[in-house]
């Protein structure tokens, strides 16, 4: 064996195989993010509801799911979601969706990601809404807007704008968390990387060049670092723009920055 490092990258179709796997992770992250944003907004509004029962029940739901390890949720759903539900998922998945989405396992992985992230995002949104000065709501009321109108036209547009940087940070976390679905055997970049380490040395199936596990996963890590670093720059940029626009930093006090740690 030669001392050449990362020689395996150009052997066979290793590079393409891994990059395509990484694309699956990005797809999962985007779909989960969209669903989690919608569910998170609903949870945030329910938690801010003036009905105490609703608000307390939602509060418990949110606090439980954002304090549990995501992997625990994914593994639980993997074992708990019945076969019939997985088959329904497989039947309903449109044929133009990429191959890994057709696996019923994706239902468990995606549900876990959405369950966890919607709880985290709900907290971020609630903090964004609560960070608005009281006067905004009072002014809306004085102008004769009812609760729904003032939410829709006054509170939400401003509150949600403030949570944009925190949401981008959460997207970075979510991006990293998509690797966890490999543990329930969904084929994405982690699984594909393992395949490469196993087959690359074979002259028929690989390129005949050994792919050391260390190098393969360093490369996978690098892919995540590039995308996430770009996202974090974007988040900074948005923060700066918001500061320039409003003349003050959007101080969104989210209890705990653990939301930004995967």
Partner 1 sequence: MPFAFVDTLTENFDAFVEGFFTTVQIVVVSFVIAMVVGTLVAAFRVAPNKALQRVGGVYVEFFRNIPLLVLLFITFPGLRRAGVEISAYVAGVVSLGLYTAAYVAESLRSGVFSVPKGQIEASLSLGFSYPETLRRIVLPQAFRTVISPLGSLIIAMIKNSAIIGGSILALDDLLKTGRVIASRTFDVVPAFVWAASGYLILTGLATLAIRRLETRYAVRR
**Interface ranges with partner 1 (CB under 8 A):** 64, 67-72, 75-76, 79-80, 172, 175-177, 179-180, 182-183, 190, 193, 212-214, 217-218, 220-221, 224-225, 228-229, 232, 255-258, 260-262
Nearer to partner 1, 149 or 228 (CB): 228
Beta strand residue intervals within 27-93, DSSP E: none
Nearer to partner 1, 154 or 190 (CB): 190
Residue 70 Cβ vs partner 1, minimum distance, rounded to whole Å = 7
H or E stretch at 97: none
Residue 179 Cβ vs partner 1, minimum distance, rounded to whole Å = 4
Nearer to partner 1, 4 or 261 (CB): 261
Nearer to partner 1, 67 or 205 (CB): 67
Nearer to partner 1, 150 or 179 (CB): 179
The Cα–Cα gap between 193 and 140 comes to 55
- The distance of Cα 196 from the centroid of its chain, to the nearest Å, equals 26
The Cα–Cα gap between 181 and 219 comes to 19
Residue 211 Cβ vs partner 1, minimum distance, rounded to whole Å = 10
Phi/psi for 190 (5° steps) reads: -65, -45
For the chain, the C-alpha Rg in angstroms (whole number) is: 22
Residue 259 Cβ vs partner 1, minimum distance, rounded to whole Å = 8
Residue 227 Cβ vs partner 1, minimum distance, rounded to whole Å = 8
Nearer to partner 1, 17 or 161 (CB): 17
Please report where in the chains the tokens 């892919």 appear, as a residue.
223
The Cα–Cα gap between 231 and 255 comes to 22
Residue 155 Cβ vs partner 1, minimum distance, rounded to whole Å = 26
Among candidate residues 256, 4, 250, the one with its CA nearest the CA of residue 129: 250
- The distance of Cα 212 from the centroid of its chain, to the nearest Å, equals 29
Phi/psi for 140 (5° steps) reads: -60, -40
């Amino acid at each position: 064996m030669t001392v050449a490092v990362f020689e395996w990258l150009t052997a066979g179709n290793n590079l393409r195989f891994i990059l395509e796997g990484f694309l699956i992770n990005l797809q999962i992250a985007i779909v989960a993010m969209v669903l989690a944003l919608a569910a998170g907004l609903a949870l945030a509004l329910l938690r801010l509801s003036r009905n105490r029962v609703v608000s307390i029940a939602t509060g418990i739901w949110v606090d439980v799911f954002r304090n549990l390890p995501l992997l625990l949720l994914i593994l639980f759903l993997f074992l708990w979601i019945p076969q019939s539900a997985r088959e329904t998922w497989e039947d309903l998945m449109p044929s133009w969706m990429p191959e890994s989405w057709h696996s019923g396992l994706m239902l468990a992985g995606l549900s876990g990601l959405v369950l966890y992230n919607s709880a985290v995002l709900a907290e971020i949104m609630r903090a964004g809404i609560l960070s608005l000065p009281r006067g905004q709501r009072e002014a809306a009321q004085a102008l004769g807007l009812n609760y729904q109108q003032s939410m829709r036209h006054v509170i939400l547009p401003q509150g949600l704008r403030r949570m944009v940087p925190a949401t981008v940070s959460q997207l970075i976390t979510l991006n990293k968390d998509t690797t966890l679905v490999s543990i329930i055997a969904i084929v994405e970049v982690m699984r594909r990387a393992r395949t490469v380490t196993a087959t690359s040395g074979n002259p028929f199936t690989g390129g005949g060049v050994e792919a050391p596990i260390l190098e393969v996963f360093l490369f996978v890590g690098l892919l995540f670092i590039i995308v996430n670093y770009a996202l974090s720059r974007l988040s900074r940029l948005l923060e700066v723009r918001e500061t320039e626009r409003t003349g003050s930093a959007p101080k969104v006090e989210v209890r705990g920055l653990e939301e930004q740690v995967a």
